Structure 1
Amino acid sequence: MPLILPDGLPAIDMLKRENINIEDMLAKEDNKRPLRIVILNLMPFKATTETDFIRLLSNSPLLLDISFMKLKSHVSRHTSAEHIDRFYHTLEELSKEKIDGLIVTGAPVEDMPFEEVDYWKELQEIFNWARENVRSTLYICWAAQAGLYHFYDIPKYPLPKKMFGIFPTIPLKPELPIFRGFDDVFRMPQSRHTEIRREDIERVADLEIIAESEESGVSIVRSRSKREFFITGHLEYAPNTLDTEYHRDLGKRDDVEVPKYYYREDNPAKGPLVTWRSHANLLFMNWVNWVLGGE
C-alpha cells in the first residue's frame, strides 16, 4: 500500500530509490480514508528524521497519510524556514482533521531541566491534546522522558557516560500486540546521556515496563489506561547514524565511548553491523495496526 506524503518532500526521491511506494496527495480523494499519522519532529536535522520514520512506516499494508507537526514557540536553526513552512503545520492546523496516531521524536536537550526547554509549555499542551484526541502516541527517546515527566512526574537522571550502542533487549510482555512476531531478544539503538529508572516507574500504577535491557535499562514503557508507548531508544535509526554521532563527538566529549555491539568486531574502521532493522520494522507495523484498533 502506498504512503501519502506532502508533495515535494525531499525524502520522497530517496525512498523511491529504495522501492518504497509513494502516492501523491490525490489519493486522499479515494473513498477509503487513509490512516492519519502525524510526526512531531523535534530533531534538528528534519529531513534525516523524516526519512527514518517514513521508511519504517512504509512497511504497513494500510494506506497511511503522513504529516509533520511544528512548534510555534521554537525556530529550527538547522533546517531552513522554507522547508518548515512548506512541509510542517501547527497543531491548530492539523487538528482540523482527525489524527489517528502521533509520533513525538527525540530532541538534543536532555541535559536541560524540562522546564528550561524553550518550547516546554507548548509541548505540554500537545501532550495533553494527544492524550484526549489521538488513538495512540509513540514517545521516542527524550520525548519518552518528557512524556513520563509531564504525565507522571517520573524524573530523569544523568549518566556518568553516554548510553551508546545497540543493546540486547527483552520483551517482558511478549503476548502484547506491539511485540507480535518478535524474538525472545531484540536489539535497540540507544544514544542518550540520561536515564529513567525502574523503581520510579513501578510506583505508578498506570505504567508498565514492557521491554528492558540488562545493560541499558528500561527500554519501553506503556500506559495501562491510555494507548501510549514510551521508547527510550531509537529503533528508527539508519545504519550509519551512530557512526555519524561517534565521529561527531570524537575528541570533543570525554563521556562518549565507541558504541557497544555496533561495529563489526568492535572496530570503527570495519563499519556498522545492522542488527535491529527487522524488529524496528515489526514494531512500527504492529503499532500502526494498534492505531487502527486491531488488538
Structure 2
Amino acid sequence: MPINIPKNLPAGEILRNEKIFVMEEDRALSQDIRPLNILVFNLMPEKEKAELQLLRLLGNTPLQTNVTFLNTATYEPKHVSKSHLEMFYKTFDKIKHRRFDGMVITGAPVERMEFEEVRYWKELTEILDWAKENVTSIIYICWAAQAALYYHFGIGKYELPKKCSGVYAHVITDLTNDLVRGFNDEFMAPHSRYTTVSLEEVQQHPELELLSYSEEVGPFIIQSKDHKHIMITGHLEYDATTLAEEYERDIKKGLPVEIPENYFPDNDPTKPPKNTWRAHAHLLFYNWLNYYVYQETPYEWHFVDDAIDYYI
C-alpha cells in the first residue's frame, strides 16, 4: 500500500527520495478500505528522526495504515519545535475516546531514573491502563519495554556496569511463532541503553514468552502470552548511522562511553557503519501488523469523525 502522510510532514520528502509511494490524504480518504489505526507514542528526544524510522517500517506491508502521533501533556520536549508538535501530534485527552488496532511506544533517555521519578510516569501509566481495553496489540521499544515489564508484570530493571551500545547476535527460541516467522536462526540487532532486565525473571514469568535473546546482552523480544504486549529491548528501528551519532554526541558531552561493539568496520569510528539488521526490522513489523493486529482486531470499531489523521 502507498504511504499517505500529512502535507508538509518533514519525513515526506525523504520518503519520496527513497522511492516510497506517497499518496495524498484526499485520495486515501475516498477509498472504501478499512485501514488499520496505529497510535505512536513518541518519547524519543529527536522526534522527527524517530517518526521517519517508524514510518518506514509501518509502511512496508500491503495493509493501509492510519497513524496518529501522541505526545506527552505533562512534559514539553526540548529537541523539537512547538509548531511541529502542534501540527502533527495529539495529547492523550484528544484521543482517549478512540480505539486503535495497534500502538507503538518508543524508547526514552530516562532509563537511569527510577520509573516513578520520570516526569510523565503517571501520564504513561494512565495511557497503559487505557490501552488494555482500547488497543489490540502494543509494541514497546527499549525503555518503554522495561516500563511495560515493570508496570504490567512486576519485573524491574537494573543498571549495567557500562553502557550497552552496539550490534549483537540474537537467537530465536521458537521459529514457529508468528511474530518471528521468517527470521534467521541468528540475526543482528542494535542496542543502546544503560539498564537491562533479568533473563531468568522473564523466562520464569507465567504470563510471558521469551522469543529472542542474546548471549551478550540478554532478553530481546518478549511477548505476553495473550499477544497484547510485545517488548523489544533494543532498537531494530535504528538507521545505520544512529549508534554513530549517539556515540559522537556522548563523546562531545565528555561521557565515559566506549566504541559501539560489532558496529564500525574494523572497530574504526572513521569508517561508515553498515545496517545489518534492516531486513529483520521490516519483518518484525510486518509480522506484528499482519498476525497480531490485522488478524486479531475487530473489523468494526466505533470511530468518530476525527478518527483519520493520516495514512501510511
The TM-score normalised by the length of structure 2 is 0.91
Question: Is the Cα contact below 8 Å between 2:38 and 2:65 reproduced in 1?
Answer: yes
SS in structure 1 at match of 2:100: coil
Q: For 1:183-198, list aligned pairs within 5 A.
A: 183-198=184-199
Q: Which amino acid in 2 is paired with 1:92? A: D
Name 1:25's counterpart in structure 2. Answer: 25
| Higher alpha-carbon deviation: 197-206 or 67-76 | 197-206
SS in 1 for 2:288: helix
Q: Which structure 2 residues correspond to residues 143-292 of structure 1 after superposition, within 5 A?
A: 143-250=144-251, 252-254=254-256, 256-290=257-291, 291-292=293-294
User: 2:2 maps to which residue?
Assistant: 2
* Deviation larger for 186-195 or 85-94: 85-94
- Contact residue 42 and residue 106 of structure 1 kept, 8 A: yes
Aligned residues: 294
**Is 1:119 the counterpart of 2:120 in the alignment?**
yes
Partner-residue secondary structure (3-state), 1:135:
strand
Give the aligned partner of residue 110 of structure 2. 109
Q: CA deviation at 1:181?
A: 1.3
Give the aligned residue type for 1:89.
K
1:226 is displaced (CA, Å) by 4.1
Say whether the 8 Å CA contact 2:208–2:224 is kept in structure 1: yes
SS in 2 for 1:43: coil
Contact 2:141 2:231 in 1 (8 A): yes
Structure with the bigger RCO (C-alpha within 8 Å, sep 6+) is 2
Contact 1:171/1:184 (CA < 8 Å) preserved in 2? yes
- Which moved further from structure 2: 81-90 or 261-270? 261-270
What is the distance in 2 between the residues matched to 1:173 and 1:53? 26
Whole-angstrom distance in 2 between the partners of 1:233 and 1:129: 25
Shift, 1:292, TM fit:
0.3
Ranges in structure 1 where 5+ consecutive residues have no aligned partner: none
Deviation, structure 1 residue 294: 6.7
Question: Which residue of 2 is the match for residue 12 of structure 1?
Answer: 12
The residue that corresponds to 1:50 in the other structure is: 51
Please give the per-residue CA displacement for 1:238-275, whole angstroms capped at 9, x wherever unaligned. Answer: 11000001111126112x21111111122111220221
Equivalent residues of 1:6, 1:67 under 8 A apart: no
State the percentage of identical aligned residues.
43
The equivalent residue for 1:71 is 72
Task: Mark the runs of 5 or more structure 2 residues left unpaired by the alignment.
Answer: 298-312
Alpha-carbon contact 1:167-1:189 (below 8 Å) kept: yes
Distance (whole Å) between structure 2 residues aligned to residue 129 and residue 19 of structure 1: 37
Deviations 1:193-224 (A, max 9, x none): 00001122234210111100000111111001
Q: Which residue of 2 aligns with 1:37?
A: 38
- Aligned residue in 2 for 1:135: 136
Instruction: Return the TM-score normalized by structure 1.
Output: 0.96
Partner of 1:293: 295
Distance in 2 (alpha carbons) for counterparts of 1:28 and 1:287 = 24
Contact 2:98–2:134 (Cα < 8 Å) also in 1: no
What secondary structure sits across from 2:270 in the alignment?
helix
CA 160–94 in structure 1, closer or farther in 2 if over 3 Å, else same:
same
- What stretches of structure 1 move > 4 A for 4+ residues in a row? none
Would you say the 8 A contact 1:72–1:90 is kept in 2? yes
What CA distance in whole angstroms lies between the structure 2 residues aligned with 1:91 and 1:176? 33
